[in-house]
Amino acid sequence: MGTRAGGRRTGPKCIAIVGPFASGKTTLLEAILARTGAIPRQNPVSSGSTVSDHSPEARAHAMSVEATFATTEFMGEQLTFVDCPGSIEFSFEAEPVLAACDVAVVVAEADEKKIPALQLIMRKLDDLGVPRILFLNKVDKAIAGVRDTLKMLQPASSVPLLLRQIPLRKDSVVIGSIDLALERAYIYREYAESEVADIPGDDKARELEARFSMLETLADHDDQLMEQLLEEIEPPKDEIFDDLAADLREGIVTPVLIGTAEKGNGVLRLLKAIRHDAPDVEATRKRLGAPDGNQTVVQVMKTIHTAHGGKLSVSRVLSGQVADAAELFLSSGETAKVSGIYKMLGKDQSKLAIAKTGDTVALGKLDNVKTGETLSLAKGGIKPLATLTPPQPVFAFALRPKERKDEVKMSAAIQRLAEEDPSLSLSHNQDSAETVLSGHGEMHLRVVRERLEGKNQIPVEGHTPAVPYRETIRKQAQQRGRHKKQSGGHGQFGDVVIEIKPLPRGSGFQFSDTITGGVVPKTYIQSVETGIRDYLKSGPLGFPVVDVAVNLSDGSYHAVDSSDMAFQMAAKLAMKEGMAACSPVLLEPVMKVEIVTPSEATSKIIALIPQRRGQILGYDARPDWPGWDVVEATMPQAEIGDLIIELRSATAGVASYRAVFDHMAELTGRLADEAMNTSGKAA
């Protein structure tokens, strides 16, 4: 018997189901739950009644928009499956899940257009060191042969895709599969266990060829198996299964199983592969660098706010056990008391008294605990085992409640939504007084808005956030400003002469004075600067003024009537009249943009950049990403608002970008008029 794998790993396991959008992940979860008896029957996705379709938004858009947890039992062992969204806009949902799961089932199909999306998923699994099994779905609809399909999919994987099954066909229709390790045929039956059969004689040669290819790949990491193949000795089956398990757990191959989730075909073989070959929580603990199993360590995978049960922290017990009412320590040293432990099956929960090592459960009312946090019973807590770093937002809108009375309510609701989805970010634009919500695509923020209006009953309005335009001057001018007011008693008097000059782009504001003879006392010079700075908050065009130098050169004062306020007012009058003579001009922010795209779409991306007033700086192959390019350009911020929609449309939903401020550029003509009509003094 082989010894590399060290035998089957028993105990509760956590399995993430990942894959490109519409590859069949939710359908596979339904098939698994039906096959294991967790639900009475398999519901089609089109019914809107699957375990993963418990949110109105998921049903409305016919897609998963959040990770869904479902715990079931198979052959006496507890398995928790997590259905992760396939759309790149909701892909961050998988990040904290993958950190704490034992293995991932990657659902894919024979669709060349989805290879870039599959590559993104495989790369994330590589980064996190998560072993994976690939379930090749919809084999009944595939036109290409399964081995040709694997050749097509292989560029998406950094490790060999190892075919463990081949389709069994009759009259060109897939009727079952042949297991290459067991050397046994399985005849599919819809929504039922397959019928075991002998391999038909006509398929024997095909099976032997595919099996030898599988053994050759396994032999790359097993010298004894290599010798057996060279000497044409049939290796024992137990050694083959040992190699399959060892290579999966070490992440050096990705076993490929086939089936049709919609009909429940291939599901049982997948479950058995998970049960026999997948690693357990001990391997996950080692991967995360967690302390040994003698102390209780819990990793939070998702936060959910329920209508009646309050906040739930879906968590993996990496070691030890957690009892109801236990006091857990956060990494910060704060404490959180557990109020209820629940087993999850979609939206349904059943209460537990205790959670043991390996269990994936929901812990109730840990109010100060966030997704990705590491909890323990160790006093003072332990350092976090996983770091969540959301990608840069690529889409935003300014949000406000339709009724002012809902402002506080909206703010609290968004805070809860951001707890559930850490990839959301909220900011306040001081220039425009806007509350800006940012995320990872138009659909991502649409779902957030639907949740505000549906789940939280807060009608909201959204619009494109204001662009932070600035203005500057092209000419210099000298101007006197005099503020004089007499209304009985002490009056007001301030008199200044200022020189206004343009500065190079990016210089900001500079103030100086060349006062001689005390014509403006030193005590009032600061007041002059204060008045000028106050005026610069909104110049002749209605925007903050930048890149301007102002020198106080002359003036006069009154021994009784002059004051700080009088000189501030005089300075503002001088600026108001002087700036109009300095040929003011609008400035717009220009960003440096880095777009990552599949190479096949690079020409489309390059073509759309000039359409958005962008300037291409160059493009090159993306380092260590075969089949991807990086396009660099500069583009006005005003053109970037909905850029991601066009990028995703051109790339089957996978392109993305990063943008950083580069410089301010003059904006004139019709676009400048539109900006001033929208946000400036003409508005």
Domains of the chain, by residue range, sit at 13-279, 289-376, 398-461, 471-582, 586-682
* Average pLDDT score over residue span 444-463: 92
Domain 289-376 identical in fold to domain 471-582 = no
Q: Is the pLDDT of residue 333 over 60?
A: yes
Cβ atoms of 584 and 578 within 8 Å: the answer is no
Q: How confident is the model at residue 489 (pLDDT cuts 50, 70, 90)?
A: low
For domain 398-461, give the fold. Answer: Alpha-Beta Plaits (3.30.70)
Reply yes or no on whether the pLDDT at 62 is more than 90: no
Protein fold of 289-376: Elongation Factor Tu (Ef-tu); domain 3 (2.40.30)
Return the structure tokens found at 77. 């062992």
**Which pLDDT score is estimated for 682?**
61
> Where does the pLDDT of residue 142 fall: very low under 50, low under 70, confident under 90, or very high at 90 and above?
confident
Contact 306, 348 (CB under 8 A): no
How does the average pLDDT of the chain come out, rounded?
Answer: 93
Banded pLDDT at 488 (limits 50, 70, 90) = low
CA dist 64 and 86 (Å) reads 7
Asked if pLDDT for residue 54 goes beyond 60, the answer is yes
Task: Provide the pLDDT for residue 681.
Answer: 66
Provide the 10 A C-beta neighbour count for residue 200: 15
Question: In this structure, are residues 571 and 524 in contact, taking their beta carbons and an 8 Å threshold?
Answer: no
Place 1 in a pLDDT band, splitting at 50, 70 and 90: very low
CATH assignment of 471-582, among 3.40.50.2300, 3.90.550.10, 3.30.230.10, 3.90.76.10: 3.30.230.10
Tell me what the mean pLDDT of segment 135-139 comes to: 96
Tokens of 453: 């209006």
What burial class does residue 50 get, using C-beta atoms within 10 Å of its C-beta: 0-12 exposed, 13-18 middle, 19+ buried?
Answer: buried
Rounded to 5 degrees, φ, ψ at 371 are -60, 135
Span 586-682: which CATH code?
A: 3.30.70.240
d(CA 164, CA 186): 13
Q: pLDDT digit string (tens) for 391-443?
A: 899 999 999 999 999 999 999 999 999 999 999 998 988 888 889 999 999 99
Q: What share of the chain has pLDDT > 90, as a percent? A: 85
Helices (H), 439-521: 442-453
How far is C-alpha 506 from the chain's CA centre?
33
Give the residue-averaged pLDDT of 41-66.
84
Could you give the CA distance from residue 315 to residue 305 in angstroms, rounded to a whole number?
A: 14
Check pLDDT > 60 for residue 310.
yes
Choosing among 3.40.50.20, 3.90.1010.10, 3.40.50.300, 3.20.80.10, the CATH entry for 13-279 is 3.40.50.300
Lowest mean pLDDT among 39-53, 121-135, 604-618: 39-53
Q: Which two structure tokens, joined as six digits, stand for 449?
A: 């808005």
Q: Which two tokens stand for residue 315?
A: 């968590």
| Cα separation values, 108 from 117, 133, 158, 408, 649, Å | 10, 11, 16, 44, 21
